[in-house]
Structure 1
């Protein structure tokens, strides 16, 4: 049964008018650009909030945009509301003054008669304080992940993430899972390189405990090349946020090839 509503809150060390401005105007700077954080990760170039009642919340593509919601209330420094265009929810975001800053609260509620609810903000809002904390010293450009990542398979990925964070000092643009939590997706980083932690016992997991992820410009052409030259295709091209396929090399190592976003440019010295 779908929950009727979900509420999540964070605190940031700035006044409500500033928090509101950062939240709405700089969403593309604090939104984490991981492979699962867009409806269509292969095409996404920006997340945008258009100001004012009637403004849209957009996932922007090079030649189009996905409307994720339409704003129904806009009170700078206090509150904004929007009706989702992708599920049956209404979302209210409030900015309440507290000692030393602002509490930002997001409530997503199923509308009367609604049947589908994504409730994504509970996995998103915690990105916001990290940007507020570092925005005065960080470049005002979106943080894009690199073209090469590794996937590591563990019996307990959450415990592994805590260990790798504590012992090796690996950081995350997302969050380290707390004791008792086992997210389906955990992503650590070394600079712009991603380290994806997956569960070893998932159906279809490779025999090896690691795999390489490579972002390519033309996934369809890459798939054809791999197939024509004898790669063992483990899973054909499919899409779940990101668009990808999986193959094994001549000694059975698993490779995942992912369609690169237009913003995932090669380094200038490439």
Structure 2
């Protein structure tokens, strides 16, 4: 059964009007370009919010007129709130900006509409990227930060506990925040420089020997897939789309590799 709503909030050290402006006008700068942070990561080049009622929330592809509409704005009050009806699932999203302790509390509520069945509750994960950008925006580059083409996927029985341990013991940081005890995020991304470490839940489908894997981003996934097949790689999954476009294969000693389509913006 789909849960009826998901909520989250963060605090930022700017006034509500500035927080609203940063959230809406600079979304392409604070949105983390991680491996699984778009509906079509292979083609995404930017995120965009068109201001005002009737404006669109967009995932932008190349060329610029190629977009995925994520939603249409239904309420727009700069410095106070904006809301939109999702175009990709059956939810409504409201983001409030409230003066709080010298700054602003930004709260998001993503709710299933009456009679709705499909909900992608991604906002509770995403909103935590905002404070990190607010803290560094005065001295940061205005070019969106892109990740390297190599990522490591780690599989744990308790990914949230593993993230806390890796942060405390090894000093690994996060794009947004280290999950607190009692939380179970849908995905966790840690970072080493501009490289991503993806934490997933270990399931019965994976053995202890294959609980870690490498992700590599390539220019042309179809060509790479054909080359791997022709040269004897054991294909574990054909090319498929789930936010990112990828396939999985094993090497000669049974280690798992995930090859994903690089975005146009990836160096």
The CA deviation at 1:78 is 1.1
1:11 equivalenced with 2:11 (yes/no): yes
Equivalent residues of 1:206, 1:254 under 8 A apart: no
- 1:61 aligned residue: 61
The runs of at least 4 aligned residues of structure 1 exceeding 6 Å deviation read: none
Alignment of 1:190-201 (within 5 A): 190-201=192-203
Equivalent residues of 1:6, 1:107 under 8 A apart: yes
Q: Report the 3-state secondary structure (helix = DSSP H, G, I; strand = E; otherwise coil) of the residue aligned with 2:21.
A: helix
Equivalent residues of 1:96, 1:104 under 8 A apart: yes
Tell me, in whole angstroms, the C-alpha distance in 2 between the residues paired with 1:117 and 1:136: 35
Q: Any gaps of 5 or more consecutive residues in structure 2? A: none
Alignment of 1:138-217 (within 5 A): 138-204=140-206, 207-217=209-219
Equivalent residues of 1:92, 1:106 under 8 A apart: yes
- 1:35 aligned residue: 35
Equivalent residues of 1:49, 1:55 under 8 A apart: yes
- 1:259 aligned residue: 261
Give 2:102's match in structure 1, choosing from 100, 103, 109: 100
The CA deviation at 1:228 is 0.1
Tell me, in whole angstroms, the C-alpha distance in 1 between the residues paired with 2:155 and 2:94: 38
Tell me, in whole angstroms, the C-alpha distance in 2 between the residues paired with 1:242 and 1:94: 30
Structure 2-normalised TM-score?
Answer: 0.93
Tell me, in whole angstroms, the C-alpha distance in 2 between the residues paired with 1:218 and 1:261: 10
Tell me, in whole angstroms, the C-alpha distance in 2 between the residues paired with 1:105 and 1:191: 29
- State which drifts further: 218-227 or 109-118: 109-118
- State which drifts further: 80-89 or 180-189: 180-189
The CA deviation at 1:246 is 0.9
1:72 equivalenced with 2:74 (yes/no): yes
Q: Any gaps of 5 or more consecutive residues in structure 1? A: 266-270
The CA deviation at 1:94 is 1.5
- 2:135 aligned residue: 133
Q: Report the 3-state secondary structure (helix = DSSP H, G, I; strand = E; otherwise coil) of the residue aligned with 2:183.
A: coil
Tell me, in whole angstroms, the C-alpha distance in 1 between the residues paired with 2:62 and 2:85: 24
Alignment of 1:114-129 (within 5 A): 114-129=116-131
Tell me, in whole angstroms, the C-alpha distance in 2 between the residues paired with 1:206 and 1:43: 34
Q: Measured at CA, do residues 90 and 188 of structure 1 come closer, stay the same or move farther in structure 2, by a change above 3 Å? A: same
C-alpha distance after superposition, 1:78-116 (max 9, x if no partner) = 111211111222222111112211111212223333332
1:88 equivalenced with 2:51 (yes/no): no
1:23 equivalenced with 2:23 (yes/no): yes
Tell me, in whole angstroms, the C-alpha distance in 1 between the residues paired with 2:202 and 2:114: 41
